[in-house]
Amino acid sequence: MRRVRLSALTPLQRARRERILGTTREQLSELGYDGVNMRDLAAAAEVSPTTLYNLYENKDVLVLSALEDQLARMGRAAGLQPSAGLEYLLTISRAITRQIVETPPWADAIARLLFQAQPEDPITRTLLTDTLKDRQAALTVMQQAGEIDADADPASLSRSLMGAAWSTIMLWTKNVITLEALPAEYLRNQLYVLLAAATPKSRRRVTRELDQLDTGTLNENSR
């Protein structure tokens, strides 16, 4: 996939890019993956099909670009970096499930692409490889702060977090978990992974979050 640095784009090119990627997310949210085609998407984004294909080789490349842009926006909106440790992990978990609830067809399309992807595919790198590094960085910060056991392996814990995350999403795509139940189920599974390695310093916070989930007392900002 061709990659262009945003700083190299002119204002008009940047506006065109944002329009194309925004339209891609909108159409996927409304129509699902199978309902989107490049010609109709080009018309909705006010570019020619030739231009769209020159910029993005096919629909999968375009969807991946829209995903990467969304993840970048999500990170900026969260206002936190992995260096925030536990707070970052909780915030990003809530941001992910909020996005799924707001645009379930888009989330379903992304999950489908990942589940069908090969290990070397770009979407695998974006949603697994890069995300594992991100979670591992947050867990390493927690370990340095004495919030997870000194003998815990951040790399192994990050894999457990990702396994819990994607198994929860898979269960939703198969209608085992309802969309309404997804946010609490997702966060609960993340917290159980953290609880297993938590030290007394962080166990109280993790346990409090679990108690709030079980009693349904999460405040609006935590959903």
Burial (Cβ within 10 Å: 0-12, 13-18, ≥19) of residue 158: buried
- Residue 5, pLDDT score: 56
* Residues linked to residue 148 through DSSP beta bridges, in sequence order: 198
Predicted pLDDT at 106: 86
- The pTM assigned to this predicted structure is 0.82
Angle between the N-to-C axes of helices 104-116 and 59-78, in degrees from 0 to 180, rounded to the nearest 10: 120
Partners of residue 149 on adjacent β-strands: none
Mean pLDDT of the chain: 89
Tokens at 202, concatenated? 């962080």
Sign (positive/negative) of CA torsion 84, 87, 89, 94?
Answer: negative
Per-residue confidence (pLDDT) for residue 10, from 0 to 100: 85
Mapping DSSP onto H, E and C, the string for 90-137 reads: HHHHHHHHHHHHHCHHHHHHHHHHHHHCCCCCHHHHHHHHHHHHHHHH
pLDDT tens column, 143-172: 999 999 999 999 999 999 999 999 999 999
CB of 124 closer than 8 Å to CB of 114: yes
Query: What pLDDT is recorded for position 3?
Result: 53
pLDDT beneath 70: ranges in the chain:
1-7, 217-223
User: Is the Cα dihedral 118, 25, 15, 51 positive or negative?
Assistant: positive
- What is the pLDDT, as a whole number, of residue 9? 74
Query: What angle separates helix 11-31 from helix 59-78, to the nearest 10 degrees?
Result: 100
Rounded Cα–Cα distance for residues 79 and 57 (Å): 33
pLDDT of residue 218: 47
What per-residue confidence (pLDDT) applies to 79? 77
For residue 198, the cross-strand partners are 148
CA atoms within 13 A on the CB side of 215: 9
Q: Exposed (0-12), middle (13-18) or buried (19+): which is 194, by Cβ within 10 Å?
A: buried
